Amino acid sequence: MHTLRAIYIIGYREILRYWRDKPRIISSFARPLLFLFVFGSGLSPAMGGLARGLGSEGLEAALGEAIDYTKFIFPGVIGMNMLIASLMSGISIVWDREFGFLKEVLVAPISRAAVALGKTLGGSTIGVIQGLLILALAPSVGVSVTPMMVIQLIPLMLLASFATTSLGVLIAARMRTVESFGMIMNLLTMPMIFISGAMFPLRDLPSWMDFLVKINPVTYAIDPLRQVIFRAQGLPEAALEKLPQMGLGVIVFGHTMTIADDIIVIVAFGVTMIALAMWMFSIQD
Protein backbone atom coordinates (compact mmCIF):
# COMPACT_ATOMS: atom_id res chain seq x y z
CA MET A 1 0.00 0.00 0.00
CA HIS A 2 2.76 2.34 0.93
CA THR A 3 4.51 1.57 -2.33
CA LEU A 4 1.36 2.28 -4.33
CA ARG A 5 0.86 5.61 -2.62
CA ALA A 6 4.49 6.47 -3.22
CA ILE A 7 4.23 5.58 -6.92
CA TYR A 8 1.12 7.73 -7.14
CA ILE A 9 2.68 10.79 -5.52
CA ILE A 10 5.77 10.53 -7.70
CA GLY A 11 3.58 10.45 -10.81
CA TYR A 12 1.36 13.20 -9.43
CA ARG A 13 4.33 15.48 -8.92
CA GLU A 14 5.27 15.07 -12.61
CA ILE A 15 1.81 16.09 -13.71
CA LEU A 16 1.71 19.02 -11.28
CA ARG A 17 5.01 20.35 -12.53
CA TYR A 18 3.91 19.90 -16.15
CA TRP A 19 0.66 21.70 -15.64
CA ARG A 20 2.33 24.63 -13.87
CA ASP A 21 4.69 25.14 -16.79
CA LYS A 22 2.23 26.87 -19.12
CA PRO A 23 4.92 28.32 -21.41
CA ARG A 24 6.12 24.81 -22.14
CA ILE A 25 2.62 23.58 -22.95
CA ILE A 26 2.01 26.47 -25.29
CA SER A 27 5.32 26.10 -27.09
CA SER A 28 4.69 22.39 -27.50
CA PHE A 29 1.98 23.37 -29.96
CA ALA A 30 4.40 25.04 -32.33
CA ARG A 31 5.67 21.97 -34.16
CA PRO A 32 2.32 20.23 -34.56
CA LEU A 33 0.74 23.39 -35.91
CA LEU A 34 3.60 23.74 -38.34
CA PHE A 35 3.15 20.21 -39.61
CA LEU A 36 -0.59 20.31 -39.85
CA PHE A 37 -1.13 23.65 -41.46
CA VAL A 38 2.04 24.47 -43.29
CA PHE A 39 3.24 21.03 -44.30
CA GLY A 40 -0.27 19.69 -44.66
CA SER A 41 -1.64 22.45 -46.82
CA GLY A 42 1.53 22.61 -48.83
CA LEU A 43 1.71 18.92 -49.63
CA SER A 44 -1.99 18.15 -50.03
CA PRO A 45 -2.20 18.97 -53.74
CA ALA A 46 0.75 16.66 -54.45
CA MET A 47 -0.82 13.76 -52.55
CA GLY A 48 -3.92 13.59 -54.74
CA GLY A 49 -3.00 10.27 -56.30
CA LEU A 50 -2.88 8.24 -53.09
CA ALA A 51 -5.60 5.87 -54.20
CA ARG A 52 -4.27 5.33 -57.73
CA GLY A 53 -4.73 1.87 -59.19
CA LEU A 54 -6.59 0.35 -56.28
CA GLY A 55 -10.17 0.23 -57.48
CA SER A 56 -12.85 1.91 -59.54
CA GLU A 57 -12.49 5.51 -60.54
CA GLY A 58 -15.37 6.48 -58.36
CA LEU A 59 -13.76 4.90 -55.35
CA GLU A 60 -10.44 6.55 -56.06
CA ALA A 61 -12.07 9.91 -56.28
CA ALA A 62 -13.98 9.43 -53.06
CA LEU A 63 -10.88 8.32 -51.20
CA GLY A 64 -8.70 11.04 -52.63
CA GLU A 65 -11.18 13.63 -51.47
CA ALA A 66 -11.83 12.15 -48.06
CA ILE A 67 -8.21 11.86 -47.05
CA ASP A 68 -6.00 14.77 -48.01
CA TYR A 69 -2.49 15.06 -46.65
CA THR A 70 -3.42 17.17 -43.67
CA LYS A 71 -5.95 14.60 -42.53
CA PHE A 72 -3.46 11.87 -43.24
CA ILE A 73 -0.81 13.18 -40.93
CA PHE A 74 -3.24 14.16 -38.19
CA PRO A 75 -2.85 10.86 -36.27
CA GLY A 76 0.90 11.14 -36.77
CA VAL A 77 0.97 14.63 -35.33
CA ILE A 78 -0.93 13.40 -32.28
CA GLY A 79 1.62 10.64 -31.97
CA MET A 80 4.47 13.10 -32.42
CA ASN A 81 3.26 15.31 -29.63
CA MET A 82 2.81 12.34 -27.35
CA LEU A 83 6.20 10.91 -28.16
CA ILE A 84 8.02 14.14 -27.49
CA ALA A 85 6.20 14.63 -24.19
CA SER A 86 6.96 11.06 -23.15
CA LEU A 87 10.63 11.26 -23.89
CA MET A 88 10.75 14.59 -22.05
CA SER A 89 9.71 12.75 -18.91
CA GLY A 90 13.12 11.22 -19.01
CA ILE A 91 14.56 14.70 -18.86
CA SER A 92 12.83 15.33 -15.57
CA ILE A 93 14.76 12.43 -14.08
CA VAL A 94 18.10 13.69 -15.31
CA TRP A 95 17.17 17.18 -14.19
CA ASP A 96 16.32 15.93 -10.73
CA ARG A 97 19.59 14.07 -10.59
CA GLU A 98 21.63 17.03 -11.70
CA PHE A 99 19.92 19.51 -9.42
CA GLY A 100 19.60 17.41 -6.32
CA PHE A 101 15.94 16.50 -5.91
CA LEU A 102 16.51 12.91 -6.95
CA LYS A 103 18.53 12.36 -3.77
CA GLU A 104 15.49 13.14 -1.68
CA VAL A 105 13.64 10.39 -3.53
CA LEU A 106 16.51 7.89 -3.48
CA VAL A 107 17.11 8.22 0.25
CA ALA A 108 13.44 7.54 1.06
CA PRO A 109 12.35 4.04 2.12
CA ILE A 110 10.87 3.07 -1.25
CA SER A 111 12.34 0.80 -3.87
CA ARG A 112 14.04 2.39 -6.86
CA ALA A 113 11.93 0.29 -9.17
CA ALA A 114 8.88 2.01 -7.69
CA VAL A 115 10.44 5.38 -8.50
CA ALA A 116 10.89 4.35 -12.15
CA LEU A 117 7.30 3.17 -12.29
CA GLY A 118 5.93 6.35 -10.76
CA LYS A 119 7.82 8.52 -13.19
CA THR A 120 6.58 6.40 -16.10
CA LEU A 121 2.95 6.59 -15.03
CA GLY A 122 3.18 10.34 -14.54
CA GLY A 123 4.87 10.76 -17.90
CA SER A 124 2.30 8.57 -19.67
CA THR A 125 -0.53 10.68 -18.31
CA ILE A 126 1.20 13.82 -19.55
CA GLY A 127 1.58 12.14 -22.95
CA VAL A 128 -2.16 11.49 -23.12
CA ILE A 129 -2.94 15.08 -22.15
CA GLN A 130 -0.64 16.32 -24.90
CA GLY A 131 -2.32 13.99 -27.39
CA LEU A 132 -5.78 15.17 -26.37
CA LEU A 133 -4.74 18.79 -26.79
CA ILE A 134 -3.93 18.05 -30.42
CA LEU A 135 -7.13 16.08 -30.83
CA ALA A 136 -8.94 19.27 -29.91
CA LEU A 137 -7.61 20.75 -33.15
CA ALA A 138 -9.45 18.11 -35.21
CA PRO A 139 -12.30 20.33 -36.39
CA SER A 140 -9.87 22.84 -37.84
CA VAL A 141 -8.38 20.24 -40.16
CA GLY A 142 -11.69 18.75 -41.17
CA VAL A 143 -11.44 15.62 -39.06
CA SER A 144 -14.71 14.75 -37.37
CA VAL A 145 -14.63 13.72 -33.74
CA THR A 146 -17.21 11.38 -32.24
CA PRO A 147 -17.54 10.49 -28.56
CA MET A 148 -17.02 6.82 -29.45
CA MET A 149 -13.77 7.75 -31.15
CA VAL A 150 -12.49 9.59 -28.10
CA ILE A 151 -13.41 6.73 -25.81
CA GLN A 152 -11.48 4.34 -28.01
CA LEU A 153 -8.53 6.66 -28.43
CA ILE A 154 -7.75 7.36 -24.81
CA PRO A 155 -6.72 3.83 -23.79
CA LEU A 156 -4.74 3.45 -27.02
CA MET A 157 -2.97 6.72 -26.37
CA LEU A 158 -2.26 5.71 -22.81
CA LEU A 159 -0.72 2.46 -23.98
CA ALA A 160 1.41 4.13 -26.61
CA SER A 161 2.49 6.83 -24.21
CA PHE A 162 3.41 4.27 -21.59
CA ALA A 163 5.68 2.46 -24.04
CA THR A 164 7.51 5.57 -25.16
CA THR A 165 7.77 7.05 -21.65
CA SER A 166 9.37 3.90 -20.33
CA LEU A 167 11.87 4.16 -23.15
CA GLY A 168 12.64 7.69 -21.98
CA VAL A 169 12.98 6.57 -18.36
CA LEU A 170 15.29 3.75 -19.40
CA ILE A 171 17.54 6.15 -21.25
CA ALA A 172 17.53 8.53 -18.31
CA ALA A 173 18.22 5.84 -15.71
CA ARG A 174 21.98 6.22 -15.71
CA MET A 175 22.42 9.52 -17.49
CA ARG A 176 24.21 12.28 -15.62
CA THR A 177 23.62 15.51 -17.47
CA VAL A 178 20.72 17.13 -19.21
CA GLU A 179 22.93 17.85 -22.24
CA SER A 180 23.63 14.17 -22.90
CA PHE A 181 19.97 13.38 -22.63
CA GLY A 182 19.11 16.22 -25.00
CA MET A 183 21.53 14.81 -27.56
CA ILE A 184 19.95 11.36 -27.44
CA MET A 185 16.53 12.91 -27.71
CA ASN A 186 17.48 14.72 -30.91
CA LEU A 187 18.98 11.57 -32.38
CA LEU A 188 15.92 9.51 -31.61
CA THR A 189 12.76 11.60 -31.73
CA MET A 190 12.49 12.85 -35.29
CA PRO A 191 13.74 9.66 -36.95
CA MET A 192 11.31 7.61 -34.91
CA ILE A 193 8.43 9.82 -36.01
CA PHE A 194 9.42 10.05 -39.63
CA ILE A 195 10.02 6.35 -40.09
CA SER A 196 6.68 5.33 -38.66
CA GLY A 197 4.20 5.71 -41.44
CA ALA A 198 2.91 8.84 -39.77
CA MET A 199 4.39 11.31 -42.21
CA PHE A 200 4.05 9.54 -45.55
CA PRO A 201 2.10 6.51 -46.75
CA LEU A 202 3.88 3.18 -46.53
CA ARG A 203 3.49 2.36 -50.19
CA ASP A 204 6.28 1.36 -52.55
CA LEU A 205 9.03 2.24 -50.11
CA PRO A 206 12.66 1.22 -50.64
CA SER A 207 13.26 -2.04 -48.80
CA TRP A 208 15.66 -0.60 -46.21
CA MET A 209 13.09 1.98 -45.14
CA ASP A 210 10.36 -0.60 -45.16
CA PHE A 211 12.45 -2.66 -42.75
CA LEU A 212 13.05 0.27 -40.42
CA VAL A 213 9.38 1.08 -40.37
CA LYS A 214 8.48 -2.45 -39.38
CA ILE A 215 10.93 -2.54 -36.44
CA ASN A 216 10.04 0.93 -35.18
CA PRO A 217 7.74 0.65 -32.14
CA VAL A 218 6.25 4.06 -32.86
CA THR A 219 4.76 2.64 -36.06
CA TYR A 220 2.63 0.28 -34.01
CA ALA A 221 1.74 3.04 -31.57
CA ILE A 222 0.38 5.37 -34.24
CA ASP A 223 -1.35 2.79 -36.43
CA PRO A 224 -4.23 2.11 -33.99
CA LEU A 225 -4.84 5.83 -33.60
CA ARG A 226 -5.00 6.21 -37.36
CA GLN A 227 -7.38 3.30 -37.75
CA VAL A 228 -9.76 4.60 -35.09
CA ILE A 229 -9.72 8.12 -36.50
CA PHE A 230 -10.28 7.09 -40.15
CA ARG A 231 -13.01 4.64 -39.20
CA ALA A 232 -14.91 7.51 -37.66
CA GLN A 233 -14.75 9.66 -40.80
CA GLY A 234 -17.81 8.15 -42.45
CA LEU A 235 -16.04 6.40 -45.33
CA PRO A 236 -17.79 3.44 -47.01
CA GLU A 237 -16.61 0.00 -45.87
CA ALA A 238 -15.19 -0.76 -49.29
CA ALA A 239 -12.98 2.27 -49.08
CA LEU A 240 -11.78 1.43 -45.59
CA GLU A 241 -10.60 -1.94 -46.82
CA LYS A 242 -8.37 -0.25 -49.34
CA LEU A 243 -6.60 1.90 -46.80
CA PRO A 244 -3.76 -0.47 -45.94
CA GLN A 245 -2.96 -0.96 -49.59
CA MET A 246 -2.88 2.78 -50.00
CA GLY A 247 -0.11 2.77 -47.49
CA LEU A 248 -2.30 3.93 -44.65
CA GLY A 249 -1.88 0.77 -42.67
CA VAL A 250 0.91 -1.54 -41.67
CA ILE A 251 1.43 -4.80 -43.51
CA VAL A 252 3.89 -7.20 -41.97
CA PHE A 253 4.74 -10.36 -43.90
CA GLY A 254 1.56 -9.97 -45.88
CA HIS A 255 -0.62 -9.69 -42.78
CA THR A 256 -2.42 -6.42 -42.23
CA MET A 257 -2.02 -5.33 -38.64
CA THR A 258 -5.29 -4.97 -36.82
CA ILE A 259 -5.64 -2.78 -33.77
CA ALA A 260 -5.41 -5.89 -31.62
CA ASP A 261 -2.15 -6.87 -33.31
CA ASP A 262 -0.74 -3.41 -32.74
CA ILE A 263 -1.69 -3.54 -29.09
CA ILE A 264 0.20 -6.78 -28.63
CA VAL A 265 3.35 -5.28 -30.11
CA ILE A 266 3.08 -2.12 -28.04
CA VAL A 267 2.41 -3.95 -24.81
CA ALA A 268 5.33 -6.27 -25.43
CA PHE A 269 7.61 -3.34 -26.14
CA GLY A 270 6.34 -1.33 -23.19
CA VAL A 271 6.65 -4.16 -20.70
CA THR A 272 10.20 -4.86 -21.83
CA MET A 273 11.16 -1.22 -21.56
CA ILE A 274 9.67 -0.70 -18.12
CA ALA A 275 11.22 -3.89 -16.80
CA LEU A 276 14.62 -2.76 -18.04
CA ALA A 277 14.06 0.75 -16.68
CA MET A 278 13.14 -0.54 -13.24
CA TRP A 279 16.20 -2.75 -13.23
CA MET A 280 18.58 0.00 -14.35
CA PHE A 281 17.19 2.31 -11.72
CA SER A 282 17.84 -0.23 -9.01
CA ILE A 283 21.52 -0.49 -9.73
CA GLN A 284 23.24 1.35 -6.96
CA ASP A 285 26.44 3.30 -7.16
Partner 1 sequence: MYIIEVENLVRKYGDLTAVDNISFSVEEGEIFGFLGPNGAGKTTTISVLCTLLRPTSGRAWVNGHDVVREQAAVRRSIGLVFQDPSLDDRLTAQENLEFHAVLYDIPADVRAKRTEEVLRMVELYDRRNNLVRTFSGGMKRRLEIARGLMHYPKVLFLDEPTLGLDPQTRSHIWEYILELREREGITIFLTTHYMEEAEHADRIAIIDYGRIVALDTPENLKSMVGGDIITVKTRDDEAAARQIAARYGVKVRRTADGLSFKVAKGEEFIPKLVVESETEILSVGLRRPTLDDVFLKLTGREIREEEAGPLDRMRERMRRRARRH
Q: Which residues sit at the interface with partner 1, rule CB under 8 A?
A: 2, 5-6, 8-9, 13, 16-17, 20-21, 99-101, 103-110, 176, 284-285
CB of 277 to partner 1, least distance (A): 19
CB of 6 to partner 1, least distance (A): 5
Nearer to partner 1, 20 or 255 (CB): 20
CB of 284 to partner 1, least distance (A): 6
Nearer to partner 1, 237 or 285 (CB): 285
Nearer to partner 1, 99 or 211 (CB): 99
CB of 149 to partner 1, least distance (A): 35
**Can you tell me the distance from the alpha carbon of 131 to that of 266, in angstroms, rounded to the nearest whole number?**
17
Across-strand partners of 251?
Answer: 256
CB of 162 to partner 1, least distance (A): 22
CB of 27 to partner 1, least distance (A): 17
The one-character DSSP state at 257 is P
CB 162 within 8 A of CB 275: no
Nearer to partner 1, 52 or 103 (CB): 103
> Which of 36, 213, 202, 13 is closest to 101 using CA atoms?
13
Q: Helix axis angle, 147-172 relative to 112-135, nearest 10°?
A: 140
**Can you tell me the distance from the alpha carbon of 169 to that of 126, in angstroms, rounded to the nearest whole number?**
14
252 phi, psi to nearest 5 deg: -115, 120
Nearer to partner 1, 93 or 134 (CB): 93
Nearer to partner 1, 92 or 196 (CB): 92
Please compute, for residue 166, the number of CA atoms within 13 A of its CA located in the half-sphere on the CB side.
26
Please compute, for residue 54, the number of CA atoms within 13 A of its CA located in the half-sphere on the CB side.
22
